Chain A
Amino acid sequence: GENVEQHPSTLSVQEGDSAVIKCTYSDSASNYFPWYKQELGKGPQLIIDIRSNVGEKKDQRIAVTLNKTAKHFSLHITETQPEDSAVYFCAASTGGYQKVTFGIGTKLQVIP
């Protein structure tokens, strides 16, 4: 089955700096890669996703890149703000099916 590895497990950045979280996947058939943000006491919320037919997607301060050859994808957050502090999960899905495999999560702390 699919295996998703995520790093770093924790990340501290100064407010205004950029943050990058990286993930790798094992199943070359995976074709959909969502990213979730989980705030304290809340469930995971989808913040951005990318499909295998594109290499990059951007939504305001958040961008995701995908390298199918190397089987890795990354989340980039620019101009970080304290409200970006949360746990971020990457995930991968295969074959147009809702079953997704999650990474272990990255706890991001933005220091004011």
Chain B
Amino acid sequence: ETGVTQTPRHLVMGMTNKKSLKCEQHLGHNAMYWYKQSAKKPLELMFVYNFKEQTENNSVPSRFSPECPNSSHLFLHLHTLQPEDSALYLCASSQDLRLGGKNQPQHFGDGTRLSIL
């Protein structure tokens, strides 16, 4: 299997549930990203990890908790979400944080469609 794989593809949860989104990349990359994609809004960068270390948190509410156990796996733990958190959550990876030369732009997964009841 190649590329960036996200599971589950669809998730419906209540506001009091706890769930996790999983992302796995098979590209040998060292940087991984979480994005939120909502209708009629630009992609919003949530978190950035480089070599397992978080390098960016774009003022994301604490009900979203990322985890990066190694360079190939990224999780997004969800707890006490709100209806406005319903969106498509995209994971991406890149060789590292630099862009240019042989470093290609981010490669995206197909996302997890999250619905909060």
Assembled-state Cα–Cα distance A49/B106 (Å): 12
**Is A42 at the interface (CB under 8 A from chain B)?**
yes
A:7-51 near B, CB below 8 Å: 9, 32, 34, 36, 41-46, 49
- B108 contacts A93, CB within 8 Å? no
**Is A112 at the interface (CB under 8 A from chain B)?**
no
- A98 contacts B106, CB within 8 Å? yes
Chain A residues with CB below 8 A from B48, complex form: 98-99
> Counting chain B CB atoms within 10 Å of each CB, which of A4, A43, A96 scores highest?
A43
For chain A, the count of residues having a C-beta within 8 Å of the partner chain is 24
Assembled-state Cα–Cα distance A32/B103 (Å): 12
Interface 0/1 of B76-117, CB less than 8 Å to A:
000000000000001010101111100111111111000000
- A100 contacts B105, CB within 8 Å? yes
B14 to chain A, nearest CB (A): 24
Assembled-state Cα–Cα distance A103/B33 (Å): 18
- B99 contacts A43, CB within 8 Å? no
Contact of B111 among A43, A89, A103 (CB under 8 A): A43
- A98 contacts B94, CB within 8 Å? yes
- B105 contacts A49, CB within 8 Å? yes
- B56 contacts A99, CB within 8 Å? yes
Chain A residues proximal to chain B, CB less than 8 Å: 4, 9, 32, 34, 36, 41-46, 49, 89, 93, 96-105
Query: Which 8 residue pairs across A and B have the least CB separation, nearest first?
Result: A43-B108, A102-B43, A102-B42, A96-B100, A43-B110, A44-B108, A98-B99, A34-B105
Q: List 6 A-B contacts (CB under 8 A).
A: A41-B110, A43-B92, A49-B105, A89-B43, A97-B99, A99-B48
* 15 new A-B contacts at CB < 8 Å, known A32-B99, A32-B100, A104-B41: A4-B42, A43-B4, A43-B90, A43-B92, A45-B108, A46-B105, A46-B107, A97-B97, A98-B33, A98-B94, A99-B97, A100-B106, A101-B42, A104-B40, A104-B42
